[in-house]
Structure 1
Amino acid sequence: MPLHPALNPELESLLADFPLIPEVTPAVLPAMRQASALPPGQLLANQPLTRTDHTTPAPDGHLVPLTVLTPTVASGACVVWLHGGGMILGDRFSQIDIPLEWLAELGVVVVTVEYRLAPEFGGSTPVRDAYAGLCWVAEHAAELGVDPERIVVAGISAGGGLAAGVTLLARDLGGPAIAAQVLICPMLDHRNDTVSSRQYAGVPSVWTPETNRFAWGAVLGAAPDDVPAYVSPALADDLAGLPATYVDAGSAEVFRDEDVAYASRIWAAGGEAELHVWAGGFHGFDAMFPATALGAAARTTRTRWLAGVLAR
């Protein structure tokens, strides 16, 4: 077994009693989806917000569901939220507690997008759905009480990768304007060939190289050719012209090296990026255990950065 960074002791203790993702196969995927779904009413209960639901057409005519969460006192900023789950799991309410912290603390409107999942809908479908959600927000900014110059795209894991892809699309298509992108342990590279991928091969974890390979296979098919950078953002030739970017990851996770490389390439292109690699953090540690010392530090640091960008 290869050497790899140790887990943070507090996280390791909690993870020992947590059911880890089993080997993912097409046969078990439906049950995994059902188990990961949570009623939105439970997630949004007792929150100081108003909820409205909408749809917007994707390029193929599919109506993409959107939920708008508006705080009692809004600041004029908006976060377009893209959930995690490897593009094979989850829905628009997954990990919603993360942007709800920004809603409560920073007064941002949160718009969460129900992009379609692989393998039923692979290729560029998830990122195109997400981009349609961004366009809807920009088009309806006035009625949402949102400043179109203060729209942020954010996501975790697969959602972080989709946020990166949406930001590349917006740059290349001339809009909508994005003030910042927040990429939380993002899934950026379909090649699965970094040092951190190899370090965690065969190691039980929240998200393994084997699971990652299955998820990318679901998105791209068995023999992907000519993969667009909007789908696998690590392939982008040019990372110039991107908005202010926040990237974080754990040192003990598969995505560590692709995330560090992405931030480094933004710097190389003359852009602004803030990178945090949390020592001993596994994939999504602060989403699973936000009350731990490391989880709280990650969330607080991320929120502080976002507050600073929105205050410019």
Structure 2
Amino acid sequence: MSTDLHKPEIHPDLQEMHNTLSKSPKFNLVDDLDKARVAFNFKVENVLQGYEGTVSHKDTDIPGPTGPMKATILRPKHQKHTTAEETPGILHIHGGGHCVGSRFFGVIPLLPCITALGAVCVTAEYRLTPEHPQPAQLDDTYAALAWMSAHAQELGFNPRKLIVYGGSAGGNLAAGVSLLARDRAGPSVLGQVLVYPWLDDSNETLSMKQCADFQPWTRQKAIVACDWAFGKNREHVSGYTVPSHATDLEGLPATFIDVGTADPFRDESVDFAAGLLRCGVSVEMHLWPGCWHGFDYLVPNATISRRAVAARVEWLQDLLSRS
């Protein structure tokens, strides 16, 4: 059998953007973290274009482990539900390798979920690496989850219809806080949406090697981000901070996982889904052909991106209809 690494093909709808990314130093966190942080410090006006008439936003501060955290509450301007009992809540957790990004990074593909579900969404900041290694990000995110659940009545949603949603590093944190909530008998989480999630720290999976130089998240970036987040000696890393290390996945909420076949996180996503299934957790998984990391927010109008977003909406609608 050949041992050659067969690089996945890029989806035709995404090829032009990938060519552009391959020539751009914009997200060069390895050599210039400060510049990468500026590039990915999204503002609310960056993400609400086209949704100004349908989604409202309100900034607030919420308590965190080391002081106030900036947060924004997003909700449909046109109320879908007549009561809070019918209204779901979504905690959005931003991506960015734990080292870049703002609370608005990754929100664009979430907006159709907010409007279709009539959901109240909270998206919060967390401390970044390498200045604040894990579990700083996990602790901040769990604090946001606890605050959101405790203030459900004030926010106007049903705490029994609370969803955690995260992409990439946000998917890492979504899985981590779901584990924490289970083990601490904390907030009730109805479902978790893990979008091309970062779940492993080995950087040795086949997909990580096949897609090693695929932008915008290369293997080199993954290795550096892992060292910043978890340290170079990861022999005793926690399953809360690296969910692939968790030994017991039983009792976790219903889970939606999707990832592209050209994404370095493909194999760890598949492995985690299989682990959840072995533990009796309800799982829906999608492998999007030829899609690289972050395709849905970088090329949101591509047909394949629209299919991915629609699948998340439909899964959430089904989950909520049964709750």
Partner of 1:6: 9
Q: Tell which deviates more after alignment, 277-286 or 254-263.
A: 277-286
Q: TM-score, length-normalised on structure 1?
A: 0.94
> Are 1:15 and 2:18 matched, yes or no?
yes
Preserved contact between residue 214 and residue 292 of structure 2 (Cα < 8 Å): no
Letter in 2 for 1:58: G
Q: TM-score, length-normalised on structure 2?
A: 0.91
Partner of 1:305: 315
Q: Tell which deviates more after alignment, 46-55 or 205-214.
A: 46-55
- The counterpart of 2:267, out of the listed 257, 260, 264, is 257
Preserved contact between residue 195 and residue 257 of structure 1 (Cα < 8 Å): yes
> Are 1:268 and 2:272 matched, yes or no?
no
Partner of 1:43: 47
3-state SS, counterpart of residue 17 of structure 1: helix
Work out the CA distance in 1 between the residues paired with 2:316 and 2:36.
32
- The counterpart of 1:154, out of the listed 165, 180, 187, is 165
Partner of 2:84: none
Equivalent residues, number: 309
Query: How far does residue 53 in structure 1 lie from its aligned partner after superposition?
Result: 2.4
Letter in 2 for 1:69: L
Structure 2 residue runs without a partner (length 5+) = 82-86
Work out the CA distance in 1 between the residues paired with 2:27 and 2:319.
39
Query: How far does residue 90 in structure 1 lie from its aligned partner after superposition?
Result: 0.4
Work out the CA distance in 2 between the residues paired with 1:24 and 1:81.
23
Partner of 1:189: 200
Partner of 1:34: 38
Preserved contact between residue 82 and residue 160 of structure 1 (Cα < 8 Å): yes
Superposed CA offset, 1:189-242 (max 9, x none)? 1111111112223x2421111110111111122323421111111100011101
Preserved contact between residue 26 and residue 39 of structure 2 (Cα < 8 Å): no
> Are 1:132 and 2:143 matched, yes or no?
yes
Partner of 1:57: 63
Letter in 2 for 1:237: T
Runs of 4+, deviation exceeding 4 Å: 20-23
Partner of 1:120: 131
Query: How far does residue 187 in structure 1 lie from its aligned partner after superposition?
Result: 0.5
Preserved contact between residue 3 and residue 199 of structure 1 (Cα < 8 Å): yes
1:69-108 equivalence runs, <5 A? 69-72=74-77, 73-75=79-81, 76-108=87-119
3-state SS, counterpart of residue 16 of structure 1: helix
3-state SS, counterpart of residue 20 of structure 2: coil
Work out the CA distance in 2 between the residues paired with 1:137 and 1:22.
31
Superposed CA offset, 1:115-170 (max 9, x none)? 11101111201011011001001110001111010000001100011100010000
Work out the CA distance in 2 between the residues paired with 1:136 and 1:280.
38
Preserved contact between residue 155 and residue 184 of structure 1 (Cα < 8 Å): yes
Identity within the alignment, %: 36
Superposed CA offset, 1:84-137 (max 9, x none)? 111111000112112221121110011001111101111201011011001001
Work out the CA distance in 1 between the residues paired with 2:211 and 2:273.
22
Work out the CA distance in 2 between the residues paired with 1:166 and 1:20.
33
Letter in 1 for 2:56: T
Work out the CA distance in 1 between the residues paired with 2:20 and 2:219.
21
Partner of 1:293: 303
Letter in 1 for 2:144: G
Work out the CA distance in 1 between the residues paired with 2:103 and 2:245.
26
Work out the CA distance in 1 between the residues paired with 2:206 and 2:222.
14
Superposed CA RMSD in Å reads 1.6
Query: How far does residue 22 in structure 1 lie from its aligned partner after superposition?
Result: 5.7
